[in-house]
Every structure is written in structure tokens, then in C-alpha cells.
Structure 1
Amino acid sequence: MKLLGTLEGDNVFVVDMHEENLDASNVLAFKEAVQQLLKDQARVVLDLEGVRFIDSSGIGALLSCMRQVAQQRGEVRLCNLSGTVIALFELMRLNRVFRIYDSRADAVAF
């Protein structure tokens, strides 16, 4: 699983995901990698620019990230979602759960 975490803006931790899919085939690797990256982070942006497909297990992993950060009184924002991923989020009304931004700059501007 290729995840890269960097600090940007006013202490916002941005995670870049370099996978086309977030599904049952790689969700365990994602969870393990992201849990370590998000440890002690309260302001997180997940940049999903390369992700073209997410299934229910992938959505569960994103919700798990949200819970982990919320325990630290933080917030997770998503950015650069593809059209198919946005359509899925809207269908499942997850656009009401996650804060979703078109650009990384907008998401980082907490």
C-alpha cells in the first residue's frame, strides 16, 4: 500500500493515496498503514486523487480513520475524489458524513 503523509499549511497532516482501488483486496494494508500515519494527528486530509473505485470495505476503512481522528478531537477531510467515488458517496449520503473538497488547497485550509 502506497501512502505518503506530509504536514502542510497550519499543521494539517495530508495523506496521499497512490492506489486506484480501495477495496477488499487492499483494505487491510490500508488500515494498517493509515493507523500508524494518523497516530497523534488531529487535522487530517485524505487526498484520494488516484482512487477510482471504493467498495463497502473501503468506505468502512475511511470511517475507521474518521473515528480514530475524532478520538483525538480532530477532523478528517477528503479531497480530489473522482466522479465515480463522489457519485457513490452521494448515493450512500456519505457526503453528509465527510467534508469533501474539490482541491487539496481548500481541504487544507481548516
Structure 2
Amino acid sequence: MQIEASQNDNKVRISLEGVVDEKGAEELKKTIKQLPLASVREVEIDCSRVKHIGSSGIGKLLLLYKHLASNGGQLRVTNLTGPLFELFTELKMDTLFTITRQG
């Protein structure tokens, strides 16, 4: 899995590519830990090049959401493929943070 992160003021954009399995989730966790989350108000995670997200990856997204929400920030997961969008909707993740479908 490849991860690219960039910060612009209090907004962070993370682009993921590949499969977010257990190993990928640990890489994502490391990337998140390097961010100055205390000063970040918005994190966008671009999933346009993600083929699959496993339970470990979803868990890391939920931990990130929890941390951001406790500090008044927000999480957006964007460009989900159809099957991933359906999975996130079934898990009711759209009730916690904004999700958008690819296209």
C-alpha cells in the first residue's frame, strides 16, 4: 500500500493506494501518528485508488474519527468505489463522518 499525506494550514489530505489490510492499516496508523492532530481541524482520506479495506483499516479510520471529533475536527472519506461505499454505508459509518462515492 502507498500513502501520501499533505497538510495545508489546519487541513490534512491523505491519499491511499492499494489494499488496506492489516499491514496497510499499520502503515496508515504510523502516518496518522506523525500528523499534528492537535492543530488539525479536517482530515480528508482519498480512497480513489483503494481496492479493499479490511477490518483493521476500518478500525484505524474509526480511531482517527474519534480523536478528531474529541478535538472539534472532522473526517471525510472520499472517492470510495461502489462496493466500498456500500460497505461503509452498511456499517453506518456515514452517520459518523462524511463519505462520498467515486465518480
Q: TM-score normalised to the size of structure 1?
A: 0.77
Paired positions, count:
100
Counterparts of 2:101 and 2:86, CA distance in 1: 14
Q: What residue is the counterpart of 1:30 in the other structure?
A: 28
**Cα distance change, pair 42–20 in 1 and its aligned pair in 2 (3 A):** same
1:18-97 matches, cutoff 5 A? 19-39=17-37, 40-97=39-96
Deviant stretches of 4+, over 4 Å: none
Question: By percentage of residues, which structure has more strand?
Answer: 2
Output the CA distance in 2 between the equivalents of 1:92 and 1:43: 22
Q: Secondary structure of 1:48's partner?
A: strand
For residues 48 and 61 of structure 1, the distance between their equivalents in structure 2, rounded to whole angstroms, comes to 14
1:6 aligns to 2:7 (yes or no): yes
> 1:17-41: CA deviations, max 9, x gaps?
2x21111122111101122125221
Post-superposition CA distance 1:42-84 (Å, at most 9, x none):
1121111111211111100100111121232111111111112
Asked if structure 1 preserves the Cα contact closer than 8 Å seen for 2:78 and 2:101, the reply is yes
> Normalised by the size of structure 2, how large is the TM-score?
0.81
CA root-mean-square deviation: 2.0
Q: Which runs of 5+ in 2 are unaligned?
A: none
List runs of 5+ in structure 1 lacking aligned partners: 104-110
Alpha-carbon spacing, 1:38–1:16, altered in 2? closer, same or farther (3 Å): farther
